[in-house]
Structure 1
Amino acid sequence: MTAFRTAASPQAGSIVLPAERRAELLKLAEGSASGFVAGLAASWVMDRFQDQAQGLFRPGPADGKSPGDPATVKAAERFTVLASGRGLPRKDKDEAGSAVHYLVGAMAGSLYGAVVEVKPQAARWRGAAMGLAAATLIDQLAVPLAGFARPPWKYTVGTHLYGYASHLVFGMATEALRRTLRGPIAELSGSAAEGGLETRDWAVPLLLGLANGQRTMTPAVAVSITAAATADGTAGRAGPLGILSSPWTAAALGLAALGEYYVDIRPGVPARIAPMGLAARMAAGGLVGAATARPERRLLGAAIAAGGALAGAYISYRVRQRLARTFGHDRPVGLAEDALSLAGSLALAAYAAMRRNEAAPAAPIGRMLPIA
């Protein structure tokens, strides 16, 4: 006779994630998220510093010739050619270069935030070490090797001082902001015991809601998959949203999401900011916001996620329109948006599931196979 072991009981044969390993993954996720936000904000601080410092350092090639477009613009230009087969319009170059600058800053900050969780000494000199490393690895090595700038020896000393000073500002700003954000996040467990409002009570629903603004079904699929794969389900098997923990629900939502991906890149599809599209996104956002919230915060999670879905729909609609005009094609932009929404939703849902189950000694991370 064939039987199934339930995911609620981590018995022999299940895939178990030990509590210590789960705690490590949570630290990495929270450190990376804090670093991402800090790197994004520090990129703005770096921009403002460069606005004031250019007159002092006078960066430029040693031969006095025009350096051409900045490295960030050249990177955006190359990506546009690879993605669409056409160059970047002149009117879009400044914005595209800024987008690359902020993206690189956020990614560097995210990596730094994760590394500091494992190796705290990486934060030495209040982030100055990170700034020096970023200047050397990115400006002095990666950018010239990628062909976005001339070799380092073809620039003036002032150019190198300007680059290192800018990245020192970036590194120290990133560390200051990371430390500010990481402090409250590190105290989540204590605030939970006191019943206080945690960072995750608003951050996770908000981010899932923004993803819902991009795709109606994707966050629900992500939450359902992680609910079905964990010990008690992210939504809580005994709660009103326990249906999300069913593998059948995950399969049905997955098919619906695939259908949405297909329809999204077809011509003539109604805009996501049409009333029906907005209503569906907000309703789905409310569902996943409630499903990933602590039981006592479900109403708050639903409201925040629904608001995030409304904002995300308008933001993603405008961004996609602009990118489609830049690239000359909508399909690659739509596919990239699918991937972004799916990856972000899965990461957030998995984080919420681990947080929900962190009080348990161990939680299965995969459903069990049939046994004889």
Structure 2
Amino acid sequence: MKRSQKKPVTKSLAKGLLAGLIGGLVATAAKSFAEKIYPPRTHGEPEPFALLAEKLAGHELAAAQKEIAAERLHWGFGALTGAAYGALAEYYPQSTAKDGAGFGMALTSLTHGTALPALGLSAAPEDQTTRERTSEMATYVVYGMVTETVRRVVRKMLG
């Protein structure tokens, strides 16, 4: 009698992207919820996505327009980074170490620690409050871990 063997999973860029995209969307919702519990900006600091929306528009936006544009950018960023992570995980499984927490920490370092300050969308890390830094790190760890959990489940479902 032969032991049943697991079929090796064939690598698929499309399936990795799709699983990561779905994971990124669910994780964006989780990060948004976590920010309601532990908000990064408590003294009226502007949202980076709201500032980016106005920079992309090239002019000041009405409050409603700015909110809609910022939400679209927020969800789009979450979906795209999730998709990129899903593709990376497909071909480099070590990137999923720590159940996605490392992904979340790397993402906050790249965004709030580097790119956003360089673009003038947030304060430099040394000028951010401890609360802002710890909230962003904590909520990005939530984002990374939820992205990985959902990505793994969806990828198994896709075969």
- TM normalised by structure 1 equals 0.39
SS across alignment from 2:38: helix
- State the identity %: 27
For structure 1, the residue ranges without an aligned partner over 5 or more in a row are 1-22, 187-372
Amino acid of the residue matched to residue 109 of structure 2? T
Question: 1:250 matched to which residue of 2?
Answer: none
1:153 equivalent in alignment to 2:126 = yes
1:99-128 CA-partner distances (Å, limit 9, x unpaired): 111111111101000000111010011110
Question: Secondary structure of 1:150's match?
Answer: coil
What residue in structure 1 maps to residue 117 of structure 2?
A: 144
Query: What runs of 5+ residues in structure 2 fail to find an aligned partner?
Result: 1-9
**CA–CA separation in structure 2 for the residues paired with 1:72 and 1:182:** 30
Letter matched to residue 168 of structure 1: V
Aligned to 1:92: 65
DSSP-derived class of the 1:96 partner: helix
Q: 1:103 aligns with which of 41, 53, 76?
A: 76
Aligned to 1:78: 55
Counterpart of 2:152? 179
The answer to whether the aligner puts 1:31 opposite 2:16 as a matched pair is yes
Give the Cα–Cα distance (whole angstroms) in 1 for the partners of residues 109 and 118 of structure 2: 12
Residue 49 of structure 1 pairs with residue 34 of structure 2: yes
In structure 2, how many angstroms separate the alpha carbons of the residues matched to 1:133 and 1:51?
Answer: 22
Find the partner of 1:119 among 81, 84, 92: 92
SS at match of 2:102: helix
- CA-CA distance at 1:87 after TM superposition: 3.0
Shift of 1:66: 4.4
CA RMSD of aligned residues (A): 1.6
SS of residue in 2 equivalent to 1:165: helix
Kindly provide the amino acid, as one letter, of the partner of residue 131 in structure 2: G
Larger relative contact order, structure 1 or 2 (CA cutoff 8 Å, min sep 6): 2
Q: What is the aligned length?
A: 150
**Structure 1 outlier segments of 4+, above 6 Å:** none
Determine helix, strand or coil for the equivalent of 1:87: coil
- Work out the CA distance in 1 between the residues paired with 2:48 and 2:148: 25
Secondary structure at 1:180 match in 2: helix
Whole-angstrom CA distance in 1 between matches of 2:25 and 2:106: 17
Give how far 1:32 is off. Answer: 0.8
What is the distance in 2 between the residues matched to 1:43 and 1:28?
A: 22
Q: Larger Cα Rg: Structure 1 or Structure 2?
A: 1
What is the CA–CA distance in structure 1 between the aligned matches of 2:25 and 2:94, rounded to whole Å? Answer: 22
CA distance in 2, matches of 1:169, 1:152: 20
- Offset, 1:142: 0.7
Q: How far apart are the structure 1 equivalents of 2:41 and 2:74?
A: 18
For 2:121, what is the secondary structure of its paired residue? coil
TM (norm. structure 2) is 0.88
Structure 2 distance, partners of 1:29, 1:95, is 29
